[in-house]
Structure 1
């Protein structure tokens, strides 16, 4: 399944009689400058989407830092972006597609048929010499009819089963997986049995997705197979959406663990593994360590 659209393909679509709806989902963990960057320059006609308020419910420790939005709240947000039934939607962010993938996943979860990620994001659009515009875009409200529950999900109670019976992928940076640093959450380490594949590994040097064949080979090397369960998590369910998208591009299916490490680590007595090996883990508090770098893989 091809979930991507290139910058030249998107330009051609925007010039067609039925252009796609463009959503700008620029977001950085720990920074609130996505909208400012959008206002200074975005794809023509793109609507800004706030990941923290429109693609997430308010954070609560029991559910993690970016819980899934309530279905009705998400449907209302989607209509405010101007979505109407039958529209093609293209989502993008500044480059890697990690925050855009959250919008892609939620729209697919809400039953939207045609959602694409701009391959390479805004950086690819600029590299192609294509135009930008500045200022806000206020679309007419749409009438989209969305449902809920079209993508597989695992939760706190059953994510360990995926690690035991299939492949659970941790999409965070290696040092967070190993438990050497934890700049955001209460304990350091990973869910026992999880395999580490940072979401950045899904991308080539130019910021576009690797080929489906390359992606499939990489995921199969981690044990992902169509006949076994697979799921992905990260810090709070954002970067893991990119992992699910990469697997979809490779023709594989995986569930999302929305609560991710922020939920697991804040739940008393959940076991934690440290080090480079998946491990069996132990319960209790780990030393979060420290990091001079900004938080990644939220």
Structure 2
């Protein structure tokens, strides 16, 4: 089953899955404001900063506690076998974080709505400001259902496999750093800006196009692949793009914002 679902496929389902809106903007305003202004009917809001991440330190978006994920999914009415579809405004950057977190904590059937709310509206889908009543789900989150990297693991993948850095080229090169106090990248990492995985409408490129892109970066399915970014959000988007091509990867969830908290870890500059 694909990690993505189209608007047409979602509409064709006989029984609609639980819909979760994770609209989020790194620079603000808060995603809840956008959700309140209009969302897909029946969708529940889950906050990326407080429910898909733990309190900052080390790293800006560390793993949330299993109890936090349990509470969020139960509020949305999710049980052990409930299918879930997550979406955001358009490009799936935040939705991919939810996709990854939910899989890591044991959700068996979770997909991302390709193109997000923008695609839904472009296809004539209605939006509402009505908030659904809290559900009474029975899901219990448990950690470790998919691979995850720590700092040492990321360094090992960079040395023996392919470690993709999902940030913009200028951040990778250390030319600018708007979010973290130290600029640069993990030595031997390969820059693969995840913004290039989607088109101008926020839809993911076709699998063959993504496969060709990753092959040019050294990802051919023959070696371990890891991904990281600034704080573990867009890294999940890169992992989702890889999943679409059939390639599994491990996310360094602490990412650059955690890497730099240990001054003994090496830093590379340049492209």
User: What TM-score results when the alignment is normalised by the length of structure 1?
Assistant: 0.88
Shift of 1:267: 1.8
**CA distance, structure 1, for counterparts of residue 153 and residue 2 of structure 2:** 29
The corresponding residue for 1:201 is 196
The corresponding residue for 1:8 is 8
**CA distance, structure 2, for counterparts of residue 256 and residue 32 of structure 1:** 27
**CA distance, structure 2, for counterparts of residue 86 and residue 158 of structure 1:** 31
Shift of 1:252: 0.1
Whether the 8 Å contact between 1:172 and 1:235 is mirrored in structure 2 is yes
> Which residues in structure 2 correspond to 1:93-104 (within 5 Å)?
93-104=88-99
2:151 aligns to what SS in structure 1? coil
**CA distance, structure 1, for counterparts of residue 39 and residue 72 of structure 2:** 20
Shift of 1:164: 0.8
**CA distance, structure 1, for counterparts of residue 266 and residue 167 of structure 2:** 18
Q: Do structure 1's residue 35 and structure 2's residue 29 form an aligned pair? A: no
**CA distance, structure 2, for counterparts of residue 90 and residue 77 of structure 1:** 14
Shift of 1:269: 2.4
Whether the 8 Å contact between 1:96 and 1:207 is mirrored in structure 2 is yes
Whether the 8 Å contact between 1:3 and 1:248 is mirrored in structure 2 is yes
1:124 aligns to what SS in structure 2? helix
Whether the 8 Å contact between 2:90 and 2:115 is mirrored in structure 1 is yes
Whether the 8 Å contact between 1:40 and 1:135 is mirrored in structure 2 is no
The corresponding residue for 1:55 is 52
Whether the 8 Å contact between 2:41 and 2:130 is mirrored in structure 1 is no
User: What TM-score results when the alignment is normalised by the length of structure 2?
Assistant: 0.96
**CA distance, structure 1, for counterparts of residue 270 and residue 30 of structure 2:** 34
Any stretches of 5+ residues in structure 2 without a counterpart? Answer: none
**CA distance, structure 2, for counterparts of residue 72 and residue 46 of structure 1:** 21
**CA distance, structure 1, for counterparts of residue 219 and residue 80 of structure 2:** 34
Q: 2:175 aligns with which of 172, 180, 189?
A: 180
Any stretches of 5+ residues in structure 1 without a counterpart? Answer: 277-298
Shift of 1:11: 2.0
Shift of 1:199: 1.0
**CA distance, structure 2, for counterparts of residue 221 and residue 139 of structure 1:** 46
The corresponding residue for 2:41 is 44
> Which residues in structure 2 correspond to 1:1-298 (within 5 Å)?
1-13=1-13, 16=14, 18-60=15-57, 63-276=58-271
Shift of 1:75: 1.6
Whether the 8 Å contact between 1:166 and 1:223 is mirrored in structure 2 is no
**CA distance, structure 2, for counterparts of residue 240 and residue 207 of structure 1:** 16
